[in-house]
Structures are given as structure tokens and as C-alpha cells.
């Protein structure tokens, strides 16, 4: 959403210092939707997104770090890096609020490639 690395780190810091910290931490990558106020803002570098996942995992080791909105635009390699960095959950289904999610079969295939069980 145009925030700086320091601002993202500050948010993760605030969440991690809650007592208790959240059980679920969804991390979204902004989806550019035409007609919305944030359409046209600079996209976050995807490796920076992966770093955010890693920091959330390190600071909240028992939380479900959820790879959330924006997966459709990431591709398999970045999603795989997110799982390696500590994401341990995804949202799946046809739609996440207003934007589409990857097809469930594609998610199953990716999780299978990564050796991640869905049970």
C-alpha cells in the first residue's frame, strides 16, 4: 500500500508484542484494482514481501502466518519462497473479498511440489 520497510516492520513489531500475539496473521500483497484509491501505487518488490513473511514467522513462531491476497500475481516461485520463509497457511476458494484466488487444483499442485500436506 506504499508503506516503507520501517512501517511494515513496525506493524509486525506491534503485533508480535501483543499479549498474546495473534493466532493468525494474514499477509497480503496489494492487488491493483482499477478505480480504487491505491490503484497505480508502486508495487512492493516480491522479495521484500518474502522478507515480511520471514519476520512475521520469526517474531510470532506459534502464529498461523497466512499467505493471503495477491497470490494470483505472485507465481509459484515466490509463493514457494513464502512457504520456505515461514508461511504455513493460505486462503483458498474462488474469491478473496473482491479479487480471485488461484484455482484450488493449482494450489494443490504447488503444495504437492513443496511436500506440504493439506491435512
pLDDT in tens, 90-119: 876 655 556 656 667 787 887 888 888 776
User: Could you tell me which residues are beta bridge partners of residue 90?
Assistant: 67
**Domain span holding position 74:** 5-114
Short-list 79, 71, 66, 81, CA closest to 26:
66
Contacts of range 36-41, beta carbons closer than 8 Å, 24 or more positions apart = 38/1, 38/2, 41/1, 41/2
Any domain includes 119? no
Domain count, the chain: 1
- Given a contact cutoff of 8 angstroms between Cβ atoms, the answer to whether 60 and 26 are in contact is no
Q: What is the CATH number of the domain that holds 109?
A: 3.40.50
Q: Is residue 22 part of a domain?
A: yes
pLDDT, residue 53, reads: 94
Between residues 23 and 76, the one the model is more confident about: 23
Amino acid at each position: 500500500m506504499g508503506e516503507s520497510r520501517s512501517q511494515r516492520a513496525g506493524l509486525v513489531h506491534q503485533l508480535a508484542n501483543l499479549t498474546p500475539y495473534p493466532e493468525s496473521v494474514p499477509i497480503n500483497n496489494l492487488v491493483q484494482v482499477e478505480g480504487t484509491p491505491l490503484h497505480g501505487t508502486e508495487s512492493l518488490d516480491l522479495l521484500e514481501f518474502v522478507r515480511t513473511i520471514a519476520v512475521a514467522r520469526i517474531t510470532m513462531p506459534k502464529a498461523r502466518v497466512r499467505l493471503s491476497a495477491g497470490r494470483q500475481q505472485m507465481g509459484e516461485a515466490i509463493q514457494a519462497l513464502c512457504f520456505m520463509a515461514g508461511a504455513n497457511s493460505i486462503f483458498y476458494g474462488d474469491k478473496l473479498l473482491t479479487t480471485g484466488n488461484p484455482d484450488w487444483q493449482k494450489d494443490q499442485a504447488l503444495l504437492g511440489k513443496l511436500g506440504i500436506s493439506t491435512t
